[in-house]
Each structure stands twice: as C-alpha cells, then as structure tokens.
Amino acid sequence: MDNQKKANEIEKIPAYEGKEPYIFISYRHMNSSRVMVDVGDLYRKKYRAWYDEGIAPGSEWPTNIANHLRGARAVVFFISQSFIGAINCENEVENALKYEKELKAKGKEYSLIQYSLDGATHPKLEGYPLVSDTEGLLALLPDSFIGDGKTGYSSSLGKVRRGNIWNVLIALVIVLSAAMGLAVFGLQKGYFDELIPGMRSNVSAESLAYDEEADMGEVQDAQLPDVLGSTVNDDFWKQIGVENPTSAIVFQDPASEIMLRNALGITDESKPITKLDVAYNKDVTELRFDEINDEVIGIVADFPYLRKLYIAGGSFSSLEPLAKHINLRRVYLSRSLLEEGEIVIPKERTFRVYIDNFN
C-alpha cells in the first residue's frame, strides 16, 4: 500500500466514543501511517477502538487521553524503537499498568497487548502478550469489543471533534460573558431605562470612564502597631515615633466633627475623636457619610483598613487625598453630587469610583 493510499485510509477511520467496551490505541505519531492500517482493519471488522483522532490540540489533551485510557477495557501498544522513551508514550504505559491493577482488583476486564512494528518490545511490558500482525492481534481480542459499526462513531480524522464537553462549556461561558458585558454596558448607558421603569444601574457611564483611566495597583495590608493590652502606654508610642495618640483631633470646622461622629457611630459627645479612633483603628473597613466636606475627606484618608467609602451628599471639591490609600478599593458617590458641581477624581488611584443613586 503506497503512502497516498495509506493517507486516504487514515482519513476514513473514525474513533469510538461510547460506554461499551472498547480498545485504546497507544502509538507514536510518527508511526501513524503504519498503525492506521491495522486500526482500519479493526474498524472494518466492527471492533470498537479509540485513538486520539478526536482531540483538538490544546490544554485538554492529557485529560482526554487519561479519561479514555481509564475507560477502555483493552490497550494495544504499537511498539517501535521510537515509541520507547517518548514522554507521552511512556505516560500511557505507566498509566495503563496502574489502571490494570486498579480495575482488575475490582473484577473488571483490562487487557494489555504489545504489537511490535519493528521487532522492538517494551521493557515495562515484559510478560504481556506480544503480536506482530493483525491476525495475531485479532486472536487476542474477545468478541465483547465487536459492535454494530455505527453506534458511537460520530467523527473521523480531519474532522476534529470540537463539540466535546469542555469546548461546549468554554463556548457557553464566552457567550454568557459577552451577553453580561452588553447588558452592563446597556444599563450604564441607560438603554434599558424605558424597558425597566424605575430601575437604573448603580454604575454609571462616568464611573466606567474613570475606571479605564485608573491605576488600581495591588491590595496591600496595612502594618499597624499592636495596640492591645498593657503595651499601650506613653513609652510604647514614643518608641514607634507617634506623638499624643490619645489626644483629641482638632477640627477646623465644627461641622466636620459631627460628620465624622455620625459615620463612626460615636454618640457620646463628651468622648473626643482621637488618633486611635482613626489612624490606628483596625475595625473600620467601611464608612458611610450623608454629608462630608474636604476636611473630613482628608481625615478619612488616615483610616488604614478602609476598603469602601459611601458618600451620599456634602460639599467637597476633590478625592485627591484618597488617591494613594493603600487599601481603599471602592468609592460610591451620589449621582446628585456630580450634577451639582465638579469633583476632582484623581486619574491614578487605588480605588474604583461608582455613581450610586442612594435610593
């Protein structure tokens, strides 16, 4: 049989995919022309056989091989000098030996057969049946591997089985992601406002534009001194270079203190707000302000563990003091704030800006 005839023969051989007992074909790809002659004979005699004709090249290749190797009930190794030592071939031999042990311990059929193409045998398969022609191979294969020649065959070589479950799932994820992206974009632009009365997205087109310009950086953990127990004393603060941590913060605007007290939930007016309440406070990860001003924005920048900031109203000009905050990740602004005046939002910052309706 000349090379062209062999090539045509290869293209016509489908691989079995199903739950009935089948034969796994292990071979070196450089021996394909010779191996497919015998695989073709098996197919014409209606033996169910699987080989890697249906796997699309990619990351799922090893998984598909392993699954089909384990699911088979016989493995035929087409041994050649080039087969021995080849990484993929050796992996198939090792795994087949492992699966044989596991499955036979459960009383299941699992046969290993060597088919020598050039007189070579595999040292790890010593003692297993050895053949060198199709007749010898067929003599070792039980009738349980024979089917109707139709069931379980859905593709042939050259028609890559791209409809396997992983590719279907990947395609589904891509489609859903694209649909979600379009939906979010439409909500941001207000395209669905008339279709969904009373509903608007909390993330606006302005927010999207800001985020495209932002340098988000990486989340860092603030390193604060341990202020637990008896270690909190004047000597402790002097050692780490902090002056008067328990002294009250002096506000330039009396309204600023009220704004901060409301956000922190400090209702006792006799209790001053100190640096311990702000710069060394590990408990504050979110702050919400109904009103805020530039002075309070500056103080907010000193909360080291702050992750989310909500601002519903107030009079301030800039978020610049927050730009280098090491942990802040989200700032929610009322839509009305942007409508009433211009607020400077730094282009390089650690947080994303969201426009919220605060309904």
Q: Enumerate the H helices of 132-253 as residue ranges.
A: 134-140, 165-189, 205-213, 234-239
pLDDT band at 222 (very low <50, low <70, confident <90, very high): low
Give the end-to-end CA distance of the chain in Å, rounded to a whole number. Answer: 79
Q: Determine the pLDDT at residue 78.
A: 97
CB atoms within 10 A of CB 72: 26
Residues 5-27, mean pLDDT to the nearest whole number: 77
Contact 93, 77 (CB under 8 A): yes
Q: Determine the pLDDT at residue 58.
A: 45
Residues 204-211, mean pLDDT to the nearest whole number: 40
* pLDDT tens, position by position, 139-150: 999 999 999 988
Q: Who has greater pLDDT, 172 or 291?
A: 291
Q: Determine the pLDDT at residue 211.
A: 45
Reply yes or no on whether the pLDDT at 206 is more than 60: no
pTM for the full predicted model: 0.43
Residues 191-202, mean pLDDT to the nearest whole number: 42
Sign of CA dihedral 282, 283, 287, 292: negative
The residues near 214 (Cβ < 8 Å, ≥ 6 apart) are 347, 348, 349, 351, 352, 353
Q: Determine the pLDDT at residue 223.
A: 56
**Pairing verdict, β 153-156 and 23-26:** unpaired
- Cα–Cα distance for residue pair 281/292, rounded to 1 Å: 20
Contact 327, 351 (CB under 8 A): no
Question: Residues, the chain, total?
Answer: 359
Q: Determine the pLDDT at residue 79.
A: 96
Token pair 């041994």 is found at: 79
Q: Who has greater pLDDT, 326 or 201?
A: 326
Q: Who has greater pLDDT, 228 or 172?
A: 172
pLDDT band at 299 (very low <50, low <70, confident <90, very high): very high
Q: Who has greater pLDDT, 198 or 76?
A: 76
